[in-house]
Chains A and B, each alone.
Chain A
Amino acid sequence: MLPKIVLRNQSKTQLVIAFLGAFLGVLFLLISVHYLLKVNQFGEGSEMLGPNTLIIQKKVSATTTLQLSSTTFSAHEIKLIEKKSFIQEVQPVQSNNFGVEFATSDPMLPYFRSDVFIQSVDARFLDVKSKLWKWHDGDEFVPIILPRDFLVMLNTFMSSSGIPQVSDELAKDVNFSLLLSNDFSKKQFRAKIIGFTNEVSSILVPDSYMNYGKETFGKRADEQITQLMLSSKEKEFGLFEKFLEEQHYESKNSQLVTGRLKSVVSMLLLVIVFISFLTLIFSSFVLIQYIQLLISRNVYEIRTLLRLGYTPRKLYRVFVRYFVLLYLVICFGATAIFLIFKSQIDAILHSSGIYIELNISVFTWITLVISFVLFYLTSLLSAKKSVLKEF
């Protein structure tokens, strides 16, 4: 009975406009938040180094070859890099100054050995802060991150030996060994692959293992820093890249391209999220205004009901229930359209060879729930205030 009395005198045109506005706002928000998250997740998991992590070195030119300029980083240069606003972390990359031999050590695989270079990386540069990324003397295994090219090379060897190739996952289950040596001694360690990288050409080991190797087998000589591991701040990849260019530093191109693309697309999507958010705020504002308009158009009915003994709460809840139901319809409708839109976009990306995760992030749903809760609270406050005014 109450809705029949207090929800009269509607302005259909205004209601439809407010409804469509909120519908488009929710739809844009869902789409933009979803793809923003997907773009940021793109490529995650396949790379152990963080998404904004690069190993840089100075470009080798005729002058460096003729030793007119140096390819090493001085302490002053490292300090200057550290001070840049867009730099999050800097660490000199340590390389082995002792002999390292990498070999298979598993009955599942034929024997294979190779002299390799190893470099150390601190856990803070890893994308996955793996608990495995530590080593103490006496540990059963040395955790290593293998260059993906190395696995390709290993598979080529397997293939030529008529043995099935090894997948990423299988490679992580297989035992390998590292043999550290110098002219006088050597020691073998069991090694386990915990991940892969496309960015470095040498095998990566924890700092502690590198230090152990240097202390035990290393040559006593001043160490030259020729590579630095850097991580840039999110969304400032452009500045980072410009800086590398100005300083004549170089890095692997693939990371730069991915980083640049992700940075640009993320920025664009952030702008779209912002615009969607504004659209949603304004359209919700129109809906809230409509609640007030509806209450003012039915002020006689509200006053009379209050005089008959109805509580203000009972009356404003009629409005809140009506508009919350309306917003629920908007959310469900927008979600349905979003799912259709998403399947189309995903199909287009898939056919273009861009494989993004198909699942919808929980954060997308959280955004929807937050928008719903905010709308509920705003409509509650607005309806309550307007009804109480008539008491």
Chain B
Amino acid sequence: MKIEFKQVLPVPLSSMEHPTDSVWNTNVILEQGKKVVIEARSGRGKSTFIHLLFGIRKDYTGNIFIQDKNLSEFTQKEWVTYRQNQVSIVFQDLQLFPFISVFENLKVKNDLTKHFSDDQLISMLSRVGLVDKLNQPCGQLSMGQQQRVAIIRALCQPFSWILMDEPFSHLDELNAEICMNLINEACEKHQAGWIMTSLGMDLKYDYDKLIHI
């Protein structure tokens, strides 16, 4: 699934100067299966890039095409299919439900897609070291632990792209490595790519394209 940005400029960033190799106000094509890092310092629009692509924000000029279909022309039904089967996401603020358990947080997504069995979910939790937190409310976990839950939740669906907004910001190197492996395995399985925003600390992972904003 090809992503194409054509002269896209978010309205809040329109007054800023953008370099010619920036993703803003230029034409950018991201081919399916590629691993892309969006790198910039704070306030340059990394999260905005993810949100535009996921349809959370619509305040931009220019056009975004997904497999030659303009995002602005997506119907409600197309957005639902897009979010269920084509593009997954790890939010910067995680967007978990703090009052339900870790396992229920995963089930909320997995019940919708029926992507994994309960055993597979437990096995993934085990890989990221959270199997003992299975029934604990998410709100009681540390930010790093919650980040791992959010990553597993994002994997509970088929996808062509997984969007990750600073997904390892609260993880130590070892846990980040484990999570990256999980993500790469899933991408390989689905022949999918990922787009990860970073402040610059995540450049150690293999990637195909680096975009500075």
Contact = CB atoms under 8 A, between A and B. Distances in A.
Interface of A: 1, 4-5, 8, 301, 304-305, 307-312, 391
Given A309-B80, A309-B113, A391-B76, A304 B104 contact: no
A44 B186 CA distance: 79
Given A5-B108, A307-B89, A309-B157, 6 more contacts: A8-B99, A305-B108, A308-B83, A308-B109, A309-B109, A391-B76
Nearest to A4: B100
Grouping DSSP codes into helix (H, G, I), strand (E, B) and loop, the B interface class, with mixed when no group exceeds half, is: helix
A153 to B, nearest CB: 80
B54 A307 contact: yes
Contacts of A305: 108
Contacts of A4: 100, 104
A391 B74 CA distance: 13
Given A1-B108, A1-B111, A311 B100 contact: no
B84 interface: yes
B111 A311 contact: no
Contact of A304 (B76, B97, B99): B97
5 contacts: A307-B83, A307-B95, A308-B108, A309-B83, A309-B84
B76 A312 contact: yes
Contacts of B56: 307
A4 B107 CA distance: 13
A1 B83 CA distance: 20
A5 B96 CA distance: 11
Contacts of A310: 80, 112
A383 to B, nearest CB: 16
Contacts of B79: 391
A391 B56 CA distance: 8
Given A308-B83, A391-B76, A301 B54 contact: no
Contacts of A308: 83, 108-109, 112, 153
A5 B83 contact: no
